[in-house]
A and B are shown apart, each in its own frame.
Chain A
Amino acid sequence: MPVVELSYSRLQKLVGKVSKKQISDSLPFLGLDIESEDKDLVRIEYSPNRPDYSTDFGIALGLQGLLGIKTGSVKLKIKKSNNYKISVKPDVSKIRPFVTGIIAKNGKIDDKTIKQLMTMQEDLHFGIGRKRKKSSIGIHDLDKISFPLIYTTTNRNHKFIPLNSETEVPISEILINTDVGKDYGPLLGQSSKVPLILDDDGNTVSFPPIINAAVTIVTTKTKNLFVEVTGINKDDAEDMLSVVATMLQSAGFSLESVNITGSKNSSPKFDSRKLSVNSSLINQTLGLDLKTPKIISCLKKSRLDASSKGNNVVCSVPAYRFDIFGSMDLVEEVALGYGIQNLEPTLTPSQTVGEINPISLKLKSLDKTMIGLGYLEALNSSLTSKRVLYDMTNRDSTKVISVLDSKSQEHTILRDSILPGLLENLSRNIHESYPQKMFETGTIFNIDNPISEKINFSGISAHKDANFTEIKSILQSALNIGFDVQIETKTSTNPTFEKGHCATVLLNNIPIGVIGKIDSKIIENYKIRVPVVGFEISLSDSVLKSLEK
């Protein structure tokens, strides 16, 4: 989840008459987790579905609502203007077809505001922009740009001075030499043409979604802003712009429209949507009995406008709240406005009889039997390594199931056997006193349309007198007492076990596993200094058979 750093004193200024404590007490009830606090600074985790909480302006709006200082929807006041036009050339339609924009004037931009804008931009890029793929934002100094603009394409040797540079650089070099070029260049594909925003003097304004021109950089001297959003989906680009516009308006800017024409593009509307919700759905879902006026006041605290219409509450959802899909989202907004802390938990008596799954029951009874036989239960990961599963134990690794890009070398493949993990456990415990007797039941995986999962049962015993007879007695008793079945053992060979001390375990003449003395070479591999005997059988193929589907 994204994190934003805020200052209590700045929040206090933005929210109105509140104490620091009121703010810190209220933040969690907006769905914001306080990650850490240090005097005036507070780091807050917000949900990716609420990008408006990426700045203190957005959080202040939320707090005002929750604390009852200002309620109801924030309306975007956009002055219609004919001074700002972007015309879109048809050639962008294959690469990054949509552009939209807004003008923000006469705001005060201090260092903190710039920092907040940049964080918001980054978070929007990452979250709803899907790492700039779906949409990306450029924020510019309006006074350095001469309108109208064109959104067009250029070839890769087009030169301009990009942000953080002093000389003209061809686009092909920006893509190779800068971090943003390397990170986002691939979004443009192999095409020889790339998107570009040019102003009326032919100057480059932006090379989306990679980098802006240096000349339009926003500083504390900037008074007026031009914000553009480009993307591959018109709605996404407008959603993103609506968040920025709302934040800029809260930051004190007055907004003016940008007229967009050409190639499927048109000027954005930023209208609020009407969405209605039945009050009985709200009450039924929350377990409350709220009258319509109360529901409306709750919604207003969540900064939405609402009015009643029969049994329904009609809500007007501002453009920047695109996380609201349907009526259930409004139910949540009512809950937040009501205050989660005001919802009293209730316990309705259960009308159902609970039961443990029969397989879990069987396995539990097997656990008990093994403990009675003096075996300690081990738990190992089902994701393990080739070293433990195959290399150390001499097993065939041709049907290995790997995961992609594991961050841990010790967890790269799914186990098809439990015994190697137990041997690894012995190896890690050679300094502990013997005898060491352990067992494990767990899931093993095999490739089979596409994957079969079975439950295996394995046990090992390690001490200076460990022998075949002992381990066969254990397995025989466990299955006999645990499941009332009799096993037989038939001479066989297995790469993990010592020749002449190894057998296939049969149940009703069907092989279900292997038992024997672990090969001395393998014992050596694991640096174990005493003989080890063990077994592994499939419970899915024997005692659980009738219980599994």
Chain B
Amino acid sequence: MSQVFHEIEKKIITSLRDTSKQTPASLEKSTQLSPDQIRRGIEWLRLKELAIVNESKSSVISLGKNGIESFEKGLPERRLLNLLKNGPKKLSDLQKELGFVFGPSMGLARKNNWVEASNDQINLKNSPSELPGEKTLKLIGNGKLSKDKVDVDDLSTLLKRPDFIIEDVLKTQEITLSDSAKSIILSDSTGGIDVEAKVPEIFVARTHPLKDTIDEIREIFVTLGFSEILGNMTQSSFWNFDSLFTPQDHPARELQDTFYLDKINAKKIGTPEQIRKVSESHKKNWRYQWDINEARKMVLRTHTTCVTIKHLAEQKPDEARIFSLGRVFRNEKVSYKHLVEFNQIEGVVVGKDANLRNLMGIQREFYKRIGITKIKFWPTFFPYTEPSLQTMVYNEKLGKWIELFGMGIFRPEVTKPLGITKPVLAWGGGIERIAMLKYDLDDVREFYNNNLGWLRSTTKCQ
């Protein structure tokens, strides 16, 4: 326990030792400190857990404009009854004397059977000794009163009337010393500042945690000698599917898996030669009638591979190391492990000597750099690569192997029609999956919730 106390704290502690349970106002009086000093002192002691502050709220009522008038002259209906004390009076006379309160007070008096009217004359039938609201009116008078000091029912009749009652919520604090405060020896205080005290939290401005992972992966690719290319998220089916040898009736192309844009088709999808050769490859190998209209349909890219293949078809490099990174889309039900939109990284190596073992080697190196060393490769199937592999990485937390990246060598059925003559090694996968491992998240949606509580508190991953 720190023994450093400010003069203000000392005074407050001393006063509270004399008289327990005080309000800020009584402390002001006993310590001769200003309200601001008292406020700060209490807050310091509270943070050190030396003072216990009990806050309570109470309602205080006072009279409004109409309330004060009624307190002085009597309630309008009381004034009406008073005027009739000495015998019946004409309606018009009463109207003149009471002014605009005549209507409502007359209504009230007749409803309660206090008066009766015959012809033009108003007679008093009985005059109650106390009308609803009179007691409370008297009790409040020109002062202020705690709401719980008055009869709730009687008050309620006044609350219904405009400008009769003003209600204020008053916060009161009651300060007592905690047990640990009682044993403090104030003379031991050194007079320095309390370096052990809790301080207010300052929220850091930062890049989004997912973006940190994205940037990290981008940097790793660059250090492995890869250059970044960018491309559109909206693509024609031609580049997203056809150019990658996915037949037009393939299940992956259905509405239930892929987002098609409503009533939007691409006019120009590729060069006439690209279109002709791709369609020939489909017709020959898949044996069906290839339809250019199907290829024109615009989709939200389902992978970044469309960006890569378009780039390769345009540049036809003999050697290259490129990567593409960005958002991809799948028409899935959103859940803790599925998003409709997520980030994907994809890299390719083009070169006459590029081979499967190189591809595995680059993978191993990549995982090493993001801190994953336990990996293995399994064969798998992708429509546009042959041979195809997937990486399995060991997740210590789950205690099992999980699938991470897919990879393979682009099929000749993909590369040849586009004039790409050298082998292309390709691999890629979802970034969120890696980020989830890094940030120890179980729910992938957290990345896009922008929940400030999480963004402000989660630790940066190295």
Contacts and interface: CB of A to CB of B under 8 A. Distances in A.
Interface of A: 28-31, 33, 47-50, 126-127, 130, 133-134, 233, 235-236, 284-288, 325-329, 331-332, 335-336, 340-341, 343-348, 350-357, 359-360, 364, 367, 370-383, 401-408, 410-411, 414, 425, 428-429, 432-433, 436-438, 443, 445, 447, 449-451, 453
B358 interface: yes
B386 A331 contact: yes
Nearest to A350: B225
A367 B214 CA distance: 13
Contact of B262 (A370, A376, A377, A402): A402
Contact of A428 (B207, B300, B333, B450): B450
A130 B247 CA distance: 11
Interface of B: 203-208, 210-211, 215, 218-219, 221-230, 232-234, 249, 251, 255-256, 259-262, 264-267, 285, 287-288, 298, 300, 319-321, 327, 329, 331-334, 339-341, 353, 355-358, 360-365, 376-381, 386-389, 403, 409, 411-413, 423, 447-453, 455-456
Contacts of A47: 380-381
B215 A401 contact: no
Contacts of B386: 328-329, 331-332
Given A48-B251, A411-B340, A351 B319 contact: yes
Contacts of B261: 401-404, 414, 450-451
Contacts of A30: 379
A417 to B, nearest CB: 16
B378 A436 contact: no
Contacts of A436: 452
B225 A367 contact: no
B interface majority secondary structure: mixed
A411 to B, nearest CB: 5
A47 B388 CA distance: 12
A451 B223 contact: no
B448 A379 contact: yes
Contact of B233 (A340, A341, A402, A453): A453
A346 B211 CA distance: 30
Given A235-B287, A377-B211, A371 B298 contact: no
A376 B364 CA distance: 34
A377 B451 CA distance: 11
Nearest to A1: B381
A373 B82 CA distance: 73
Given A354-B227, A449-B267, 16 more contacts: A285-B387, A328-B387, A340-B377, A340-B379, A370-B205, A376-B455, A381-B339, A383-B341, A401-B262, A403-B262, A405-B255, A406-B340, A414-B261, A429-B453, A432-B452, A450-B234
A356 to B, nearest CB: 5
Contacts of A451: 232, 234, 261, 264, 298
A445 B327 CA distance: 14
Nearest to B351: A351
Contacts of B215: 364
B450 A425 contact: yes
A31 B408 CA distance: 13
B448 to A, nearest CB: 6
Contacts of B207: 367, 371, 377
Contact of A429 (B361, B412, B452): B452
A408 B218 contact: no
A354 B379 contact: no
Given A326-B413, A438-B450, A377 B378 contact: no
B84 to A, nearest CB: 52
A406 B298 contact: no
A371 B205 contact: yes
Contacts of B388: 332
A408 B448 CA distance: 15
Residue of B232, B334, B357, B423 with highest tally of chain A CB at under 10 A: B357
Given A287-B355, A346-B358, A407-B332, A380 B450 contact: yes
Contacts of A355: 222, 227-228
Contact of A379 (B208, B249, B321): B208
Given A348-B358, A367-B207, A406 B259 contact: yes
Contacts of B298: 450-451
A364 B453 CA distance: 24
Contacts of B332: 407
B259 A285 contact: no
Contact of A376 (B206, B403, B448): B206
A313 to B, nearest CB: 16
Nearest to B415: A328
B256 A340 contact: no
B412 A328 contact: yes
Nearest to A368: B207
Nearest to B401: A28
Given A331-B386, A383-B341, A31 B256 contact: no
Given A332-B386, A345-B364, A402-B261, A354 B230 contact: no
B378 A437 contact: no
A447 B255 CA distance: 21
A382 B341 contact: yes
A343 B300 contact: no
Given A31-B380, A285-B409, A326-B412, A450 B267 contact: yes
11 contacts: A33-B380, A285-B356, A329-B386, A345-B363, A352-B227, A354-B226, A383-B259, A404-B260, A405-B260, A428-B450, A450-B264
B40 to A, nearest CB: 20
A377 B334 contact: no
Contact of B333 (A329, A383, A407): A407
Contacts of B387: 285-286, 328, 331-332, 335-336
A133 B248 CA distance: 14
Nearest to B245: A325
A432 B447 contact: no
Contacts of A340: 377-379, 389
A126 B252 CA distance: 12
